[in-house]
Structure formats: C-alpha cells, structure tokens
Chain A
Amino acid sequence: MSESSDDRKWLDAHFDPVAGLYTFSSCLDLAELSGDGESQLVVGDLGSGSSGMKLKVYRGTALVSESSLLDLPAGLVAFFMDLHEPRIPAVAVASGPCVYVYKNLRPYFKFTLPGLEVNTLEQDVWQQAREGQIDPLTLKEMLEGIRKKADVPLSFCSLQFLSLDASDMDEFVQLHKQQPIRRQTVITCIGTLKKSTADEDGVSCLVIGTESSDIFVLDPEAFIILAKMSLPATPTMMDVTGQFDVEFRIMVACRDGNIYILRRESDKPKYCIELTSHPVGLVRVGKSVVVGCTDESLQGFTQKGKKLWRIVLPAPITTMASMDLPSRGFQAVLVGLANCEVQLYRDKNLLSTIKTPDVVSSICFGRYGREDGTLIMTTKGGGLMVKILKRTAAFEDRDSAPGPPLAQSIRLNVPKKTKLYVDQTLRERENGLAMHRAFQMDLSRLRLAAAKTYVKALESSLTPVSSSLSEPLKMNAVVQGLGPSFKLTLNIQNTATCRPVMNLAISFLYDESLYQMRSPYMRIPLLVPGLIYPVETFVECTSDKGISDIIKVFVLHEGRNCPLLTAHINMPVSEGLKLH
C-alpha cells in the first residue's frame, strides 16, 4: 500500500523528534486526569536506563507534569480506585518490588510485594556473622556451600556479598549484618481488572505479575491481595478481561515461550498455548488473541488457545498495541516493526501501513485530548508522534491479503433453463449412444478424407514445401503487376539446419497460347540454409480476352525426373492491353 493512501487516513497532529521519551507500550496510558473531558498521556519514562526515570504527563502538545521515579518502571496503568466524584483515575507505576500509586499526580500509596521465604541456613550463618563468631571469609565459604545445595535460593544481599572482592567484604558485612535477611521479588508486568462492574469508570483491581512466577490481584482501596495465582514461568506480558467478582480471564505471555490462560475458578492456568518462538507482543481483539513472535510472525488464537491463523511480517516486531474504536465498531492490532513501519491488522488482513521516520518503540491508541481516534507513538530516538484518525477514514477489509479474488464471490447471472434446453438434454440422455457413434463415424471419415488429400498432395508434389529429407525447401510465389506484363517472384528458402542445396532448377508449365515467359527454365544458385532467395521472371499475357490461367512452377533437381516442389499460381486477369 502506498504512503499516500495512509495520509488519507491519518492526520499528523504533532511530531516532536526530540521529546526525550524513552519508553515501551507497557509504560504508556491515556487517562482523563484533570476531569475536564480532556484525556492526557501518562508516560513512565525509562530515561537512560540507569538515571532520569520520570513520570511524565502530556496534555495536547505540551508536557504539563514531570516527577522523578525511584526505579525503572516496569509498567504503568491508570485506574479508578474509588467511587469518589469527580471521577479522576489514579496512576499506578510498577517498579522493582513496589507499586507506586499516584492520585492527582501526587504520591498516594506504596504497595510492596510480600517477601519470599528465606533460607534458614542462610539466616543462621548471618546470625553468626553478626555475633562475630565467623569472619567474612568463612561466611563466604558457608554461603557458597548453601548456594550449591539449598532448594531455596539465597537473598539478594548474600548474592551481592558473594560477588565482592576479598578487600570489600569486611566493609559490606559491617554495613549489612544488622539488617534482617529478606528475599524480594520484582514486578514484571501490571494490568487492571474491573472489580464488579463493566462500566468504563468502574473501580478496578490491579493485577501484578512477578519474577517469582506469581500473579497477584490487589484490592483497589485497601491494597490487600485478593487472589494469588501461580504460573509455571515468569510472566512478561498480560491481558486481563472480565470482572473480578463475576468472571475474568488473564492471558499471560511467559518467559518460557508459552501463553497461559487463567480463569476465576482456579489458581493454576486453565489453558496453555505453546508457541514455536518467544512472544514479543500480546493483544486481545474482541474474543481472540493476537500474538507477535520473535520469528517475525503474527498469530491469532481463540480464547481457549486454538490457533486460528499465522502470517509472516516483513520485519521483526518492536511493539504491539490494540486499536479499539467503539464508536465505529472497529477493532484491530497495531504492530510496530523494525523497518520503520507501523502496520494495522484486522485478523490476518493488513489494512494500512504507516511509515515513521524512526523505529517505533511504543504505541498507544485511544482518546487523547478530545479526539477519540488518536494514535500515540514514541520512537527509539525519544521522539513523540501523535496522529489522529480522520473522521472519513475507512479501512477496507482484504486490502492486500492473499486469497481468492473478490470477483470469485460475485454471482454470475445464469439464465434460466429453457424448454428447448431441457428437451435437448433429454434427447442427449436417451440417444447418447447413437449420437456418439454417429460422431465417431463422421470423425473417422473426416480423418480419412484429410489423409487422402495429404497423400495425393505428397504424391503429386503439389505442396509448396518439399518433403524430401535431403532437400527441405520452402517456396512462395508473388505476382506483381496489372498486366499484360507481370512480374513473378519466387522466394525459395532452404529450411535445413546446416546443409546447403545445390543443382536445382525451376521450370514452368503454362498455356502457351495465353502466356509468354521470358525464361521458362532457370537454374537456382546454391541455397545456404535459412536465407530467402528471390528468383524473378517476367510473364507476358498475350491474350486480350480477359481470361486467366494457372501457371505451374516446378522445382527440380538435376538428374531426377520427379519435382521436389510444385506450386500452382493463379494468375490475375490482365487489365491492360499490350501496346504494339
């Protein structure tokens, strides 16, 4: 699809190539934070990856708020945590083991994941170190022993200690021995789940996926864990639908390359989708799931994990997002590709391609400002792009998808069966055998007649093509002039591949009372294969009665009485009179 056609669908509302936004789709959300009907863009900016992590809010084309984050954001969601008026959503930022909740863009609450079970041996060893019974070197040896044997992994503190040089150990032990040993996991992904109503502004629970392969559902007001579910592997992306109190479904893409589907009734996955390569994007469209994989493919699955389709993309996927426009009943998937394109797919059909000046690293589609169909993208270089879907834009299905052409499904206007047609079919059905016999007989007769004529032509050498194998010749004759003088040109060609033909002559047979020929016998020069040799002579019509006759031409081989070729030339009627 050409770029121009996409210009007809999207309006370029804003492009700031140096916005300095470094983020991913999971850290991008649109929410009405001001409560005045204008949606704002909330971004968890990863900064340089080690510093400059910020929570940024954009309104229109301007950055309106910026606050520092303590750690790298793993995910960001806007959600309604209470029923207070005016309905202003809170923002939850997941980073490290905590979820930071912001209300009115001010820090409001910090939720920390519960600690994990700590190895008792490890605790004892540290206890001894605290009491000064063992020196740091012995501590290191003992911890290493525990690390090799124990089923419960060591705490972060111990692991850090083991990686130190001997010179730094003493200081580290002094610094850390007073602190209790804790083992903490981190959040890998975050989502929201409506509590009891499906309303747009209904209260939502937070759903958190952790490094320790667990999924937690948090109560939005008290921030207590409402449900805990465990997975076989660490979750990386998730999609949540339904309501916590009624029925819900959590689809989780995990680091083992599988997608697990969790339901309300069980704390273990109900279905599992095994992918051939690792998932990089997970988007739900209506009742199906679209998964982008590292093998540059896009795959569609049902809610129960049945594979529907798979297509190959032109480049690796950088990010994916859903495009949902309820006002037009339009749902599709936006796929950011490494070749600076964003493609829009409805099921497996490519609807549109947007070219971007840089590789897109995050995509978000929804209501921004007062415009419902707004596409927000950030690029690898930190740029921010806002495009607005035109009111008149229409996406045609099956734009460029392969498959049967559209013409195939158009019904032909087949006329009704006439009485004649029915009678004929009946007759054919009844007399099929006789008709076939008659046809076969006629066909045989036709073949016989054709063979007879052919043999006759061969016998009398009537053909203008020589059948002799040693002298394959072809001739055609051209008569020029109005009369009484005619010019007769005979074009002779040797059709052999490499052998020349020699010792040929041409002779004519004609009615001497009608015609007079300048040279009724001619010798033909050596014929080189492939070339056309014109042989010319003049014929004079001696009669003035306006009649014509045939002149027979023979190509002869010297010393043989049978002609190689024969041609009959139908002379035209002489239209002039000879001047005396």
Chain B
Amino acid sequence: MGLFDKLAGWLGLKKEVNVLCLGLDNSGKTTIINQLKPSNAQAQDIVPTIGFSIEKFKTSSLSFTVFDMSGQGRYRNLWEHYYKEGQAIIFVIDSADKLRMVVAKEELDTLLNHHDIKHRRIPILFFANKMDVRDALSSVKVSQLLCLENIKDKPWHICATDALKGEGLQEGVDWLQDQIKTMRT
C-alpha cells in the first residue's frame, strides 16, 4: 500500500469497490447485505428484490458499493449487464434447497463463462447461507455440488453463514477485503 493510500486511510477516505451480489431467489442476498450495513441503517423487513438495488457499507479499509441483484428467474438476465463494473462477486447459495442446487450451479457456470468474467482474475466469495435450517448442506458439500474446485483462475472462498443472525459473514467480508487489496497492489 502506497503512502497516498495510507494517507487517504487516515483521512477516512476509503477506496471504493463495486461488488455484485448474485444468487438464486430466496437465497438470502438482501438479508446478507442488510446484515453488513451499519445497525442503524438496517431494514426490518426483507422483501423479494425486484430488478436490483444498490447498497453501500464500509469495512476497515474499503468502501463497498453492492449491486444487490434480484435472483428471480425473470430478472436473472439482468445480471450480465453489471459484470463489467463488478470488481468482486458475492454468490449466495441456499444450502437448504437441495433441489435447486443444480440451478445455482447452472447460473454459476453461466456467470463464469461469460466473456466479461472469464478472463478476469476477479475474487468470488461464496456464502453457503441458511446454515440454521435443520437439514442444510455443509459448506464442503455445497462446494462439491457446485464443483468449485474447478475454478482455477480466480481466487474464491466459501463461508457457511446464517444471515439472520449474521454468523460467518464477517469472515467472508474480511477475505474479500484482503483479496481486493492484494489485487490492487
């Protein structure tokens, strides 16, 4: 990190990063983003996102602008229009929805093969969400089902989370922050 960055850090001017938050409908994207926001800005009721919404939150050294995309089937074709702007991706998976794990894998494969993503070394953070549900799959099982081991050219990380309580989110965001910092320097 250069001197200027340090100076900017002291002054409270943080670097801005654009992050895309993707995943199927009802996987908990909005809830996760809501948890990451400062507690005074959190929304009480989470409703299905229509289209997308833009949320902002700050970590110790970065200022995140998150594109919280709608996961509903009819809005998923909007995702690709934001791939160019995204500097990192958060992919949320409903670990309790075994039936639609194939759909999540399909959408992930489409994402990874998109020409705006394919040749970029862009960090991807997976949240295996809904760990609180009784027969939810473990994060290891989720990464097996999504064949994450095949992602060779991008840094990725999977966290088991419970977005309702906020468990596991901080670990993932810390990883993402480190990745973005190393990517820049």
Contact = CB atoms under 8 A, between A and B. Distances in A.
Interface of A: 11-14, 37, 60-62, 327, 368-372, 386, 388, 390-392
* Closest CB pairs A-B (n = 4): A11-B102, A60-B99, A61-B98, A13-B99
Interface core residue of A37, A369, A370, A386 (most chain B CB under 10 Å):
A370
B184 interface: no
Interface in B105-158: 106-107, 110, 135
Given A370-B26, A372-B73, A391-B76, A386 B110 contact: no
Given A386-B99, A391-B106, 10 more contacts: A13-B99, A13-B100, A60-B98, A60-B99, A327-B73, A369-B100, A370-B100, A371-B73, A388-B102, A388-B103
Interface of B: 24-26, 73-74, 76-77, 97-103, 106-107, 110, 135
B110 A392 contact: yes
B99 A14 contact: yes
A125 B144 CA distance: 74
Chain B interface mostly: helix
A61 B101 CA distance: 11
A370 B73 CA distance: 10
B2 to A, nearest CB: 44
Given A372-B73, A391-B76, A11 B98 contact: no
B110 A371 contact: no
B1 to A, nearest CB: 42
Contacts of A14: 98-99
Given A390-B106, A391-B73, A391-B76, A371 B98 contact: no
B25 A370 contact: yes
Contacts, number: 46
Contact of B102 (A13, A60, A62, A370): A13
A12 B98 CA distance: 12
A34 B1 CA distance: 54
A59 B101 CA distance: 14
Given A60-B97, A370-B26, A12 B73 contact: no
A34 to B, nearest CB: 14
Contacts of A62: 135
Contacts of A60: 97-99
B106 A11 contact: yes
A327 B98 contact: no
27 contacts: A11-B102, A11-B103, A12-B102, A13-B99, A13-B101, A13-B102, A13-B103, A14-B98, A14-B99, A37-B26, A60-B98, A62-B135, A327-B73, A369-B97, A369-B99, A370-B26, A370-B100, A371-B73, A371-B99, A371-B100, A372-B73, A386-B99, A388-B99, A391-B76, A391-B106, A391-B107, A392-B110
Contacts of A391: 73, 76-77, 106-107
A370 B101 CA distance: 12
A369 to B, nearest CB: 5
A14 B103 CA distance: 11
A21 to B, nearest CB: 16
A372 B25 CA distance: 12
B149 to A, nearest CB: 20
Contacts of B135: 62
Contacts of A372: 73
Given A11-B106, A370-B25, A370-B26, A388 B74 contact: no
Nearest to B135: A62
Contacts of B24: 370
Nearest to A37: B26
Contacts of A327: 73-74
Contacts of B110: 392
B177 to A, nearest CB: 32
B71 to A, nearest CB: 10
Nearest to B110: A392
A71 to B, nearest CB: 31
B92 to A, nearest CB: 14
B50 to A, nearest CB: 15
Contacts of A392: 110
A555 to B, nearest CB: 77
A61 B98 CA distance: 7
Contacts of A369: 97, 99-100
Contacts of A37: 26
Given A11-B106, A370-B25, A370-B26, A388 B100 contact: yes
Contacts of A370: 24-26, 97, 100
Contacts of B107: 391
A327 B73 CA distance: 10
The listed residue with most A CB atoms (<10 A of its CB), out of B25, B74, B99, is B99
Contacts of B26: 37, 370
Given A370-B25, A370-B26, A372-B73, A61 B99 contact: yes
A379 B106 CA distance: 26
B159 to A, nearest CB: 23
B130 to A, nearest CB: 13
A392 B26 CA distance: 20
